[in-house]
Structure formats: C-alpha cells, structure tokens
Structure 1
Amino acid sequence: MRDCIFTLPNGRFLVVPSNLIRTLEQYRQLQPSSKEQGGMLLGVFRADDEEQFSLENPPCIEVLSITEPCDQDHATRFRFVRQCEHHLNKMKKAAQMYKELVYIGEWHTHPEDNPSPSTIDLNSWQKAFKNKIAIVVIIGRVTNWWGLWMGDNIVQIKNLQ
C-alpha cells in the first residue's frame, strides 16, 4: 500500500502514510458486536515562509501520527467519545519527535460499508473546530470518508490514487 494523497479544494494536498491508514483500518467495525473506535490525528501544516494561509486557503497538511483507542474511552456500537489521558500523552510523546507537530483532527469508525458524517458528527466537529482547519475521518466497513473542516464548512476530499 502506498501513502495516500488527497486533493484539498485549493489544489494543495493532504498526505497520509500507508502505515497509518493500515492502523486506522484495523478498527473497522466488521462484526455486529464491534464498537465505534476513534482517536486524534497529529501532523503538520506545510506552507512556504512567505505564504499566508487561511480558512479559505488551507496549506498542505501531513499526518505524522495518530492516537488509538484505549479502555477508558466511551465506546458503543454507534458512538465514541475520547476520555482517556492516553490520547494526550501520545500527543505529547509524538510532539517530542516532531517539533512542529500539532493536533490536526479526529478519526472514528462507523458500522456501515460506505460511511458519511452523521448529525452528531457534524455538531461535534462544529464545536471542536469552529474557525479552524481540521481533517476529519470516518472509517467504514468497506470505504473511508475523509473531510476537510474549514471554519464552519466541511468538504469531502478524495484520494488521488
């Protein structure tokens, strides 16, 4: 599997290493008893020094690390809420490895073949990412849904390959 490269609305790119895609997809809800799982996306915004980016003009984004679910998270068949200090500790540890690493978004699973954001997802992202740029991901049983949150707006983004 190759790294995934997604096109952003302004022609820039999101890059996600293949090993992180494999890790995300290991949490697919393939069994009727499988619970939603999720975590954080950590990475960097890449822009030329003189280049200004805004909500309407996001930079290139690279995912460098993710957090994975832990036992203290709240997970049911149709809901996931991060509650574990593990996610923050993983973020701090990853930040020591990558100087410019920041929290860039969220991922979670859905128990459907071809997922799309629910009203709960949209409301949650609205609260978490108001006036921010973020990557949001839903891992389905067959396909994944990737989106770019820009302030108050969500745009689905597609893999180039």
Structure 2
Amino acid sequence: MKSINPAFLLFQIPGGGRLKISDQALDKMLSFRQLNLEDCEAGGVMLGRLLIDSNDVVIDEVTVPMCQDKRSRFAFYRHKRGHQAVINQRWHSSNGTCIYLGEWHTHPEPVPTPSTTDRNDWRRKLRADRFEKSLFFVIVGTHETKMWVGEKQCQLVQHMENITPDT
C-alpha cells in the first residue's frame, strides 16, 4: 500500500531516467494543497540538478507564492521577478549546478489534470524559457501529485508515471 504522504516522489522520465522530488521540496508543495474551499491556488518554480553520467534528475527546492504573485481559487499567476531572483541566486551560489527545472502549482481536485490554460502555458514556456533539454511540470491535487515533462526540441508534453516505492 502506498503512503498518502511519502517522504519523496519518484517519477519515470519517458525515454529513460528518473526524477526524484526531495522530501523538502515535496513538503513545501504539499503544504499548499487546497484542502479548504477558501484556499487559493499556489505555485512556484522547481530547482535542482541533473545527475552526472545518468539521465536522472533531482528537484531539491521549490519557490513558494510571493507577494507579487496573483492567486485565486482556480488560478495562479507567477510574477517573474521574485522567483527569477531565487533562480539566479541558487545558480550563482552553486557554481551552476543548481538549475531551473520547471514549474509547480496546485489544483483544488483530488487527482489533478492540466487545464487548457496549463497546457498552453507549458507550451509557451517550452518556446520561451531558457533551459537545457526538458522542463518538468507538477500539479499538486488534494490527494495526488502528478507530473509532466516537456521537451524543448519537439515541444511535446508527456505525463510521467509515479514509481515511488511502497512505504
């Protein structure tokens, strides 16, 4: 039986490799689940590292909503400046090993599915954002957390399977 709140999440990357969301990053995202009717969507960026000599990725840290972000029950609009400052600071302090890996946000539904707005935003990020090869997108629902990966070259977005071991 799977734990409701595992210490970390592990996803299979299509084409090879795994993506791990660390316990610290997962705890931050889960703390913004929309469990009450008045809870607004939340989100931020995901930071982490590409593991040398493998196709594995680790999300070590996430940003959380900042004062300039716009939040409502069914929408989250991330203001670029504050989150970008965190990305830049982590990049410099890690000598380029901590990088921008993608975006996360919440949905007020048990098993989250991306809206048309989400998919359009993801495609826009694949065209416009500066990143290596792939961007990852997480949606935190009230009961499950789902993940997608978008490829820069073909701008294809695919769902990733959760392979977190039983706990």
TM-score, normalised relative to structure 2: 0.83
Runs of 4+ in 1 over 4 A off after TM superposition: none
Equivalent residues in 2 for 1:107-118, closer than 5 Å:
107-118=104-115
Q: Is it true that 1:154 corresponds to 2:151 in the alignment?
A: no
8 Å CA contact 1:43–1:62 kept in 2: the answer is yes
Residue 119 of structure 1 and its aligned partner are, at CA, apart by 0.4
Residue 4 of structure 1 and its aligned partner are, at CA, apart by 2.2
SS of 1:91's equivalent in the other structure is helix
Aligned residues between the structures: 152
Alignment-derived partner of residue 89 in structure 2: 93
Q: Distance in 2 between matches of 1:118 and 1:84?
A: 21
Structure 1 portions without partners, runs of 5+: 52-58
Residue 22 of structure 1 and its aligned partner are, at CA, apart by 1.1
Alignment-derived partner of residue 56 in structure 1: none
Aligned CA RMSD, in angstroms, stands at 1.9
Equivalent residues in 2 for 1:24-63, closer than 5 Å:
24-48=29-53, 59-63=55-59
Q: Distance in 2 between matches of 1:38 and 1:74?
A: 10
Alignment-derived partner of residue 102 in structure 1: 99
Structure 2 portions without partners, runs of 5+: 1-5
**Aligned residue identity for 2:149:** L
Equivalent residues in 2 for 1:13-24, closer than 5 Å:
13-24=18-29
8 Å CA contact 2:68–2:79 kept in 1: the answer is yes
Q: Distance in 1 between matches of 2:83 and 2:57?
A: 21
Alignment-derived partner of residue 144 in structure 1: 145
Percent identity, aligned pairs only, is 28
